A and B are shown apart, each in its own frame.
Chain A
């Protein structure tokens, strides 16, 4: 395990002898440290002079959303150590405006879902108080292990509660959890068992599971609201790290530093330089590229015998590795993701790529002249947008439009007749023959014209992503066009996509929506145009875009009108009322 890992709890405890021991021990046991790592990520942001300035907006939307599975698990790993990772499978959110994360604002908690959280909490609390690890994560010793200890329980609950709830517990909440711990410890005659009961309760509390953003009047702009400091810290951390804020960010919230331009920039730059940025960027692109599809993907193994379960897992990982390597390690141009020949190969993927298998994940560069260039030619994209037993130019073209260019494609009519194109004995040998058949029907032609020309360029790859030159004995024609730009093969498609203006505006739109947790609207167009211009000025570098968004006024400001009357707020409470009711 990397030595860049350590627990945030230990960071809380600097100054005590025990903390020093804990911090030392934890350095080899827990998640990536929030402080910067030489191996990590984005290069320090360099200010690029801009010809544009951020337009005035009402700010972003204040949201109540459910913590996602990965946000929950990442937070646990960073707070308690990477081995504290329960087998928790939270129900998926509903994809909204191209992002799963936006669906997290539409989710509720059913009794069944609560059971999943409960099981995870039981596992985690048991791991925390386990005799073999309690000394690493519980930072005080009870006077008597067989009895309640109010002081020690209070310290642990205060420390842990602040990190997993993303703000300090109120005295009332803290005392309730401590009382719970003491009562259980007394009944069970075991301090740690009692503490485990309280920790379990904390882990399923609404303050942990829900991200309830709170607003307050912005003193710098009368009439304007902004996120309160802890909400801003949480939004920032979920955006950049896909996890709860660490100790330092919470301190910046507590001191108010985060609400100053300099203080916010300091935190954003620190977080962009952290190894935890990897997880944040992986989560963003896993969501944006619709990789949740992998969770339910299956292939007909009689047709694709090499598409094993491991290949499925590795296909997702390959593209995410390329994303992190290209965008963060190399600080590369986002558009080059669609032309780069650099990738990573695993033993399971090698059989499909028809390459000698490396002993483990290994960096690889497809040679010049190969038809593999860019993530469109990765097994991930090719296999997820295909049928179980054959490729699909239409599904691939649709995915390209919707996921990469943010151009929605309508669903097919309910009464569409597929019999002619799916007849195995028919004379339609190649995918081009089949989609041309669609074009003869005016009802179908409208949509197929915008999906198929790109999808056909990927027909050199079958339904699992294996290269082929013929289909049913007929040579495959992979020429096509993308919005007027003609190409002769998939390499040309990658270049056309690289040069397409919607490619960058789409990633900007998705990233801003992901960052703020809300779909964009027409009112956001000037703001998105500004972000897109800055993105271009900065060489389409993803860390720069994330920095620009995080430091924008819109990220911190909230489009909220002053409440009509106290106590009658229709939406989420402001921080003053929330503090009284929520904690």
Chain B
């Protein structure tokens, strides 16, 4: 580690002097000075799906805003503006914590098979087992809210489509992950994993596919709250990390483009070209509802048949961690299927001088000063 710091300091001096760049970096390798960076290219809620969906969603997919509106306010009856559109809009913004008052049905996935991570080390009655049966105790209760909603199901759910589209179009949602202290990318019992928000577009080939080898500047100015480090290990090419509370850049939350995740961790197969696997943690259901309801327009939700009042009640029902002042669970276990492409993560000179990369907390502290 001392060597790393001195090398990065040297690099910072060279950079600030306008001389050579990356004197510590050796060309032709993704893993340089024990560090390798990745930029997220795909992120989808981890939802177990069978080919026809009948096993997990025997009642079919849920109604969305348009279908529910038709059922609530039949067209053959006279209605007032306040009693229809404004009433339902109010329920979107301020959903009750009680069961659906209108008696509208909401179908949650059935069965015990699910995708995700065991967040609490226990195998509870509501937990899932992986499709291959090898992993039990999977905590992913949010999949009960999303599993039978068209918007979140693959391959072309509306939400999935826009998340991917925005991944390519915008930069505010750039999620970077850097592994440092790596001796061997296949097996290393002690590595440090630091996440950042990036500032740059993803590297694409001429066909629009994400490719490795791009460069991402870590946001040490406006993205300080995203910078967090944790320890991890790589066993047979799979990186796992210790849980840590983080903010992650969120694609579809443009008003507040971040998501707070407690006990966040990853399980990723890493190579020098990219990484792929799962990310999990507990989400604050109030913040999640806020992001979904307030920053994602009804017409988008209508494409994907996604009813916020119904989903919110499912969040409440399935919340499984971190009780609030009322004693009820305020967080819900969640999992995402994610992919990354290798990218070189660069840091501004003052952050490098303060110890980053590889010492993000020091960098973060330096940028606070």
Which of B20, B207, B214 has a CB less than 8 Å from the CB of A351?
B214
User: Which residue of the partner chain, among B19, B25, B209, contacts A355 with CB atoms under 8 Å?
Assistant: B25
In the bound complex, how far is the Cα of B21 from the Cα of A363, in angstroms? 7
Contact A370 B214 (CB under 8 A): no
Task: Assign chain B's interface to a size class.
Answer: 20 to 34
Interface SS, A side: loop
Q: Is B80 an interface residue (CB 8 A)?
A: no
Least CB separation from B28: chain A residue: A467
- Among A308, A351, A364, A466, which residue has its beta carbon within 8 angstroms of that of B21? A364
Q: Does B29 contact A (CB under 8 A)?
A: yes
Is B213 part of the contact surface with A, judged by Cβ < 8 Å?
Answer: yes
Asked, given contacts A305-B206, A352-B213, whether A370 binds B19 with beta carbons under 8 Å apart, the answer is no
- Is B205 within 8 A of A363, CB to CB? no
- Give residues of chain B (86-107) contacting chain A, Cβ–Cβ below 8 Å: none
Contact of B344 with A355 in the complex, beta carbons under 8 Å: yes
CA gap between A353 and B30 in the complex, in Å: 10
Contact between chains at A357 and B214 (CB < 8 Å): yes
Give residues 320-372 of A contacting B (CB, 8 Å). 345, 347, 350-358, 362-367, 369-372
* Contact-size category for A: 20 to 34
* Neighbouring B residues of A308 by C-beta, 8 Å: 206
B27 within 8 A of A: yes
How long is the Cα–Cα vector from A583 to B344 in the complex, in angstroms?
A: 62
Majority DSSP secondary structure for residues of B touching A: loop
Interface centre among A351, A357, A363, A370, by most chain B C-beta atoms within 10 angstroms, is A357
Minimum Cβ distance to chain A for residue B176 (Å): 13
Q: Determine if B211 is an interface residue (Cβ-Cβ < 8 Å).
A: yes
Chain B residue numbers with a CB within 8 Å of A370 are 26-28
Q: Which residues of B contact A305 (CB under 8 A)?
A: 205-207, 209, 211
Chain B, 14-53, CB within 8 A of any chain A CB: 19-23, 25-30
Of A302, A347, A357, A366, the contact of B27 (CB 8 Å cutoff): A366
Identify the closest chain A residue to B204 (Cβ).
Answer: A305
Q: Are A354 and B205 in contact (CB under 8 A)?
A: no
- Knowing A305-B211, A363-B19 are in contact, say whether A356-B25 is a contact too (CB < 8 A): yes
Rounded to whole angstroms, the CA-CA distance of A75 and B214 in the bound complex is 39
**CB-CB < 8 A to B20: which residues of A?**
362-365
> Contact: A301 with B206, CB < 8 Å?
yes
Contact (Cβ within 8 A) B213 A306: yes
A356 engages B215 (CB within 8 Å)? yes
| A residues 438-479 touching B (CB-CB < 8 Å) | 466-467
Chain A residues near B27: list those with CB within 8 A.
353-355, 366-367, 370, 372, 467
Q: What 1/0 mask marks residues of chain A from 293 to 308 whose CB sits below 8 Å from any chain B CB? A: 0000000011001101
Shortest Cβ distance from A305 into B: residue: B205
CA distance A539 to B345 in the complex (A): 42
Nearest B-chain residue to A466, judged by Cβ:
B28
**With contacts A347-B215, A370-B28, A372-B28 known, is A356 near B344, CB below 8 A?**
yes
Residue numbers in A under 8 Å from B344 (CB-CB): 350, 355-357
Query: Which single residue of chain B is at the shortest CB-CB distance from A301?
Result: B206
A366 to B21: give the CA distance in the assembly, Å. Answer: 11
Q: Are B207 and A367 in contact (CB under 8 A)?
A: no
A357: nearest chain-B partner, CB-CB? B215
Q: How far is the CA of A364 from the CA of B346 in the complex (A)?
A: 16
Complex: A352 Cα to B205 Cα, angstroms = 12
Question: Does B203 have its Cβ within 8 Å of any Cβ on chain A?
Answer: yes
A355 surroundings in chain B (CB, below 8 A): 22, 25, 27, 344
Q: For chain B residues 176-219, which have a beta carbon within 8 Å of chain A?
A: 203, 205-207, 209, 211, 213-215
What A residues does B345 contact at CB under 8 A?
356
Report A-chain residues with C-beta under 8 Å of the C-beta of B30: 354
B160-183 vs A, Cβ < 8 Å mask (1 yes, 0 no)? 000000000000000000000000
> Which B residues lie within 8 Å of A357 (CB)?
214-215, 344, 346
Contacts of B211 in A (CB 8 A): 305-306, 351
Q: Check A302/B207 contact, CB under 8 A, given A350-B215, A364-B21.
A: yes
Q: Indicate whether A358 sits within 8 Å of B21 (C-beta atoms), given known contacts A353-B28, A467-B28.
A: yes
Measured in the bound complex, the distance between the Cα atoms of B18 and A358 in whole Å is 11
CB distance from B2 to the nearest CB of A (A): 19
Whether B21 pairs with A345 at a CB distance below 8 angstroms is yes
8 Å CB contact of A364 from B22, B29, B207: B22
**Chain A residues in 8 Å Cβ range of B23:** 364-365
Chain B residues near A352 (CB, 8 Å)? 213
**Min distance, Cβ B178 to any Cβ of chain A, angstroms:** 12
A398 to B37, CA, bound (A): 39
- Within 8 Å CB of A354, what residues of B? 27-30, 213
Which residues of the partner chain A approach B203 to less than 8 Å between Cβ atoms?
306, 351
Q: State the CA gap A79–B92 with chains docked (Å).
A: 70
CB distance from A476 to the nearest CB of B (A): 14
- Distance from A565 Cβ to chain B, minimum over Cβ atoms (Å): 65
Residues of A within 8 A of B22 (CB): 355-356, 358, 364
For residue A366, which residues in chain B have a CB less than 8 angstroms away from its CB?
26-27
Name the residue of chain B whose CB is nearest to the CB of A369: B26
User: Measured between alpha carbons, how far is A39 from B136 in the docked complex, in Å?
Assistant: 69
21 contacts between A and B (CB under 8 A): A301-B206, A305-B205, A305-B207, A306-B211, A308-B206, A345-B21, A350-B344, A351-B214, A352-B213, A354-B28, A355-B25, A355-B344, A356-B21, A356-B215, A356-B346, A364-B21, A365-B23, A366-B26, A369-B26, A370-B26, A467-B27
Nearest 6 A/B pairs, CB to CB: A305-B205, A357-B215, A467-B28, A356-B344, A351-B213, A301-B206
Write the residues of chain A forming the contact surface with B, with a CB cutoff of 8 angstroms.
Answer: 301-302, 305-306, 308, 345, 347, 350-358, 362-367, 369-372, 466-467
**Contacts A356-B22, A367-B27, A371-B28 known; 12 new A-B pairs at CB < 8 A:** A301-B205, A302-B207, A351-B203, A354-B27, A354-B213, A356-B21, A357-B214, A358-B21, A363-B19, A363-B21, A366-B26, A367-B26
